[in-house]
Amino acid sequence: MSENVPFTSSQEKIEEEVSLSELNLINPEHNTSLFSSWWTPGETEGQRRLQEFIGRIGNYKNDRKNPADHGTSRLSPHYHFGEVTPFQVWDKVLDESENFKDEGVDHYIFRLATKEYYSYIMFYNPNMADKNIIRKFDKLPWKEDPEYLKLKAWKEGKTGIPIIDAGMRELLGVGYMHNSTRLITSNFLIKGIMCDWRKGQEHFWEHLLDADLPSNSGGWQWSAGTHHDCPRKGVQISNPYLQSIKFDPKGDYIRKWVPELALMPTAHIHDPSEAPKNVLEKAGVEIGVTYPYKIVNHDKVSREARKKWEKIY
C-alpha cells in the first residue's frame, strides 16, 4: 500500500500513540496473573495438550468428575480457537486407543460428540440462545429486579455456598469452569434464585475462553430443563451441598478458589455456615464477615422451584 494512503498513516498513528493497555482489551474482572499459568494459546500447545491427554485418556471416565483433579482434557479453548479439531482428536484417539481401556476412549468420544450434537440442535433451532426449545416453558415465572443482588453475588462467587463460589471464581480467574461446576452453578442460578437462564448464559459467554454458542445455550437449556432431552427425566434440582461432597470430596477445589475457607476441616467445608462456632474460629472464618451468609435457604427454594416446573410439565 502506498505511503499516502490515509488508512496507512492513521494506522501508524495508532501504533505510535496507543499502548496495548489503553485498548482495554483485558476484562478487569479477570485475575490475569493466573491466565498464563493455565493457558498457552496456539496450535503447538493445543497439539501438545492433546498428546498429553491421550496418555491418560484411559482414566477419563473416572477422573472427569472431580473439578480439583484436572482429569478432563481442558482442550475446549483450543477447539474454540481452531487449534485442535474434533476430527484430529477422533483420528488420534482411535489410532492409539488399543493401548487404553475402551471405557475412557468411548466416554471421551461421546463427550466430543455432545459438542457436535448441540450444533446440530442449534441448526434446527436457530433461536436456541434466546428462546426455550420447548416453548411451554416460556411460562416460567422468572424473578426480575429484586433478585439483582443475588445474580451479582452469583457472578462474583459470593453466594455463601462454597462449591458455587469456587466455580464462579474459577471462571473469573482463568476463563474456564469445570463441567461439574458448570452444571451445579447453572442449576443453582435457575432453580435456586429463579433467574432467567439467559442471564447466566450471557455471563458465561462473556467470560469463557471456550464460549461456544450451541454448547453454551445447550448447557443452559439442559439445566433449565427446557430442551428436548430433559422432560423425560422430570425436574432436575441439584443440591449444591450434596454435589459438593460427591464431586469435591476432600474440598480441594473449594480451598483453591475460595481461599478464605482454606483452613476449614473437610467435614464442614461444604457448608461452613452450619459448622460449630469453635470450628469456625479455629479456621479463622466468620460468616457474614470473612465469608458471606448463604443467599438462599436451599431446601425452601428447591421446593418452590419444583412446584413451578411441575405445574408446566
Ligand X SMILES: Cc1cc2nc3c(=O)[nH]c(=O)nc-3n(C[C@H](O)[C@H](O)[C@H](O)COP(=O)(O)OP(=O)(O)OC[C@H]3O[C@@H](n4cnc5c(N)ncnc54)[C@H](O)[C@@H]3O)c2cc1C
Looking at beta carbons only, is 244 or 272 nearer to ligand X?
244
Looking at beta carbons only, is 159 or 264 nearer to ligand X?
159
C-alpha cell at 52: 498429553
- 3 state SS of 123: helix
Q: Name the minimum Å distance from CB 240 to ligand X.
A: 14
151 alpha carbon, distance to own chain's centre: 15
Cα(282)–Cα(114) distance, rounded to whole angstroms?
A: 45
By CB under 6 A, name the one of 196, 212, 260, 271 that touches ligand X.
Answer: 212
Q: Tell me the per-residue interface mask from 111 to 150 with ligand X, x by CB under 6 A, - otherwise.
A: xx-xx--x--------------------------------
Cα(165)–Cα(293) distance, rounded to whole angstroms?
A: 12
Q: Does 253 bind ligand X (CB under 6 A)?
A: no
Which residue's C-beta sits nearest to ligand X? 219
Q: Name the minimum Å distance from CB 215 to ligand X.
A: 4
Q: Does 88 bind ligand X (CB under 6 A)?
A: no
Contact 157, 165 (CB under 8 A): yes
Looking at beta carbons only, is 186 or 244 nearer to ligand X?
186
Q: Which long-range contacts (CB under 8 A, 24 or more apart) does 121-125 make?
A: 121/214, 121/218, 121/227, 121/228, 122/213, 122/214, 122/217, 122/218
Q: Does 183 bind ligand X (CB under 6 A)?
A: yes
Q: Name the minimum Å distance from CB 179 to ligand X.
A: 4
Q: Does 182 bind ligand X (CB under 6 A)?
A: yes
- Amino acid, single-letter form, for residue 111: R
Q: Does 72 bind ligand X (CB under 6 A)?
A: yes
Cα(200)–Cα(168) distance, rounded to whole angstroms?
A: 11
User: What is the chain's alpha carbon radius of gyration, rounded to the nearest angstrom?
Assistant: 22
Contact 120, 112 (CB under 8 A): no
Stretch that binds ligand X, among 66-74, 150-158, 268-276, 305-313 (CB under 6 A): 66-74
Cα(173)–Cα(257) distance, rounded to whole angstroms?
A: 9
C-alpha cell at 79: 477447539
Q: Does 208 bind ligand X (CB under 6 A)?
A: yes
Q: Name the minimum Å distance from CB 114 to ligand X.
A: 4
By CB under 6 A, name the one of 79, 247, 291, 309 that touches ligand X.
Answer: 79
Residues that bind ligand X (CB under 6 A): 64, 72-76, 79, 111-112, 114-115, 118, 179, 182-183, 186, 204, 208, 210-212, 215-216, 219-220, 223
